[in-house]
Structure 1
Amino acid sequence: MIHLSRSACLVLPVAAAHPISLRAAERERLKKMAYGHKTEHRLRRRAQVVLHAARGRSNARIARETGLHLDTVRCWRGRFAERGLRGLNDRERSGRPQSFTSIQVTEAKALACRLPAESAVPLARWSCPELAAELTKRGITGDISASTVRRWLAEDALKPWQHRSWIFITDPDFRAKAQRVLDLYARTWQRQALGEDEYVISADEKTSIQARCRCHPTLASGQARAMRVNHSYGRGGALAYLAAYDVHAAKVFGRTEPRTGIAPFMNLVAQVMSTEPYASAKRVFWLVDNGSSHRGTKAADRLAAAFPNAVMVHTPVHASWLNQVEIYYSVVQRKIVSPNDFTDLAQVGDRLRAFEDRYNATAQPFQWKFTTSDLDDLLARLDRHTADHPEESSVTSTP
């Protein structure tokens, strides 16, 4: 019989650490994973283990330096040695068995793609809780949560609670009118390039800008606090803001008037056409929509009679989005009008004129990207739509 002394110890065999050798591409990828700010924490730690191992360090030392358990270090070092970078990802798990069938999911999506009115439900739009309740009511599913319905709809980017307005083209000469506008943006008129002494002006009116005097002063934003605007206000009247925008020079000419109309619009035209280089220009093209102040051939004749070198060009009906001055008006709405807090109309006018000077000092032409090719694609899509839905085109295509 062999007796062991107390000082004797039993040494168990320990598996040798897997040697790690990295290629340059692997090392670069692991460094991005280990030190990238957007890398998940678990992947960052696994990448750090592999980088330490590639330096020839033992598993015990890596565990001490990273604060991980020895078995965790051994696991990810071995996984990388076997499968490379793919080994650092989690293995697929079976997960919990599905509670709903694919048919139920399909029926839920089909219901979301129908208007509530078609199902005799007194709603304007579906929401996820409403869809969940309707699925249970119809017996399509059992009890189901709104989050589950939301997850199903997200798979196909379905958002029935959102809506967008649209309108069919009703102008029979839409393409010809739109092409004239787009050609002018590209400095072309009737297939001829514009000269250096020819200009394109986009003009319109922004009606009813109110002066709302808040009953309590507006408070500036502070730490963890948005700017505060009092809800109650006194009305100080309203005015119209007329603007003419030089498309290629990115220069704005504006004026305020008590109201819109033919006379205020012609005042704007005179303001622009009496200054250089427009006064002595060969031609100045005025792009306008079909508002009452400048509608039809009478307005074009009136403009030409007052200024022989001015040419009025109308956008198609219901196509003010082709008028670049509308982009400038959106800037004015965001930066000047909203939130509305003015003591009187004089302050509104002063603010608008000061903003014009500020804008003209740094403005660059808008990067207009909608071309005649895009116009043809748009019209082709609409033609296909009306061909698939003739009942809609028969209602809306009459000008």
Structure 2
Amino acid sequence: MRLKKMAYGHKTEHRLRVRAHVVLHAARGRSNARIARETGLHLDTVRRWRGRFAAQGLPGLKDRQRCGHPASFTPLQATEVKALACRLPAESGVPLARWSCPELAREAVRRGIAAFVSSSTVRRWLTEDAIKPWQHRSWIFITDPGFRLKAARVLDLYARTWQGEQLGDDEYVISADEKTSIQARCRCHPTLAPGKARAIRVSHTYGRGGALAYLAAYDVHRAKVFGRTEERAGIIPFMNLVTQVMSTEPYASAKRVFWIVDNGSSHRGQKATARLTAAFPNTVMVHTPVHASWPNQVEIYFSVVQRKVVSPNDFADLTEVRDRLREFEDRYNATAQPFQWKFTTSDLDDLLARLDRHTADHYEEASVASTA
């Protein structure tokens, strides 16, 4: 029964089905020559499968274990290439900024790790441990001694909390900054619309039509943007933005309006805080940590502007840039929803703990390297 199921089963592999038919023909008393003629197999093939079935039964119809092609490289060679990839090229005396698979293969041969190794083999080895030496990311150590306090104040405001107390209905949180040097690049040839299997085509050559700064204030909880364009960023343009917002309701009569800003020259330090409070007594300026503008939510809005308005940059002049930004601002405000900000003070503490461990490991490695 099992032999017939193997011979006529729809899910049986073809090679097993053919071997089962050979055995069934033999069970009917047919000679090897006749079986070979009816199945189209070589006489020696028929004789082999009849003999294996007679000696081992059904398991004899399966392929025997094969040793396969001998390995071309040893595990040690693969490990040495991975170790090489985990070192900077300059440490190995190679004038490269970062490794690529062809360069690693060439260096492995030069060092005598292998007589020959292809870049595809190197890539396969690196993929096993997710090693990607051709990629790079920038990072910076925290230099602001008040990083935790400043960042926590911003995160608390996003959660509608200030100094341990909930904000009232007449208190608002504004995130503000400048997006500088938005250029008007007049393309030398008209931009072509997309088509079937074709992206938008923008001429590489262009004429410069000047640049401007886009200042924006984003109400974090109401998802409303106030923007303006200026010839350049600075103290006066920033105060113009503040006046634009604070002269409208509900901010003009609000109990408090918190302005979250980074440490740019337009609003840096205690002088900027005093200047803001003097102009509008119900405002409170809150600075993000130094070199950490990422907690400022208006940066998210600027990334939207960059993707949807500025790129690809194709404007006849600065007037067109101003009009496009103003119209997009109205379009955005019509449907905007608050950003789903999920990074809390607990996440901040976890991040700082990881950075502390990373910093300790970095200095430990540096001290070991200096004494080696």
Flag the 1:142–1:295 CA change in 2: closer, same or farther, 3 A.
same
Flag the 1:297–1:120 CA change in 2: closer, same or farther, 3 A.
same
Q: What is the CA distance between 1:381 and its match in structure 2?
A: 1.3
Q: Which amino acid aligns with 2:88?
A: L
Q: Work out which of the residue numbers 13, 16, 36 in structure 1 matches 2:4.
A: 16
Q: Which amino acid aligns with 2:255?
A: K
Flag the 1:104–1:15 CA change in 2: closer, same or farther, 3 A.
closer
Q: Alignment partner of 1:341: what SS? A: coil
Matched, 1:106 2:75: no
Q: Work out which of the residue numbers 275, 299, 305 in structure 1 matches 2:278.
A: 305
Match of 2:31 in 1: none
Q: How does 1:1-399 map to 2 (within 5 A)?
A: 15-17=3-5, 59=8, 62=10, 71=17, 94-390=67-363
* TM-score, L = length of structure 1: 0.77
Percent identical: 78
Flag the 1:170–1:330 CA change in 2: closer, same or farther, 3 A.
same
Q: Is the 8 A contact 1:17 1:74 kept in 2?
A: no
* TM-score, L = length of structure 2: 0.82
Q: Alignment partner of 2:229: what SS? A: strand
Q: Alignment partner of 2:331: what SS? A: helix
Q: Is the 8 A contact 2:3 2:20 kept in 1?
A: no
Match of 2:57 in 1: none
Q: Is the 8 A contact 1:109 1:152 kept in 2?
A: yes
Flag the 1:369–1:232 CA change in 2: closer, same or farther, 3 A.
same
Q: Alignment partner of 2:286: what SS? A: strand
Q: Which amino acid aligns with 2:211?
A: A
Q: Which runs of 5+ in 2 are unaligned?
A: 22-62, 368-372
Q: What is the CA distance between 1:364 and its match in structure 2?
A: 1.2
What is the alpha-carbon distance in structure 1 between the residues aligned to residue 240 and residue 279 of structure 2?
11
- Cα deviation, 1:203-249, whole Å, max 9, x if unaligned, reads 00000100011111000011121111001111111000000001111
Q: What is the CA distance between 1:93 and its match in structure 2?
A: 6.6
Q: Which amino acid aligns with 1:110?
A: A
Q: Is the 8 A contact 1:244 1:252 kept in 2?
A: yes
Flag the 1:209–1:393 CA change in 2: closer, same or farther, 3 A.
farther
Q: Which runs of 5+ in 1 are unaligned?
A: 1-12, 19-57, 76-89, 395-399
RMSD of the alignment, in Å?
Answer: 2.6
- Would you say how many aligned residue pairs link Structure 1 and Structure 2? 326
Moved over 2 A (4+): 13-18, 66-70, 72-75, 90-97, 388-394
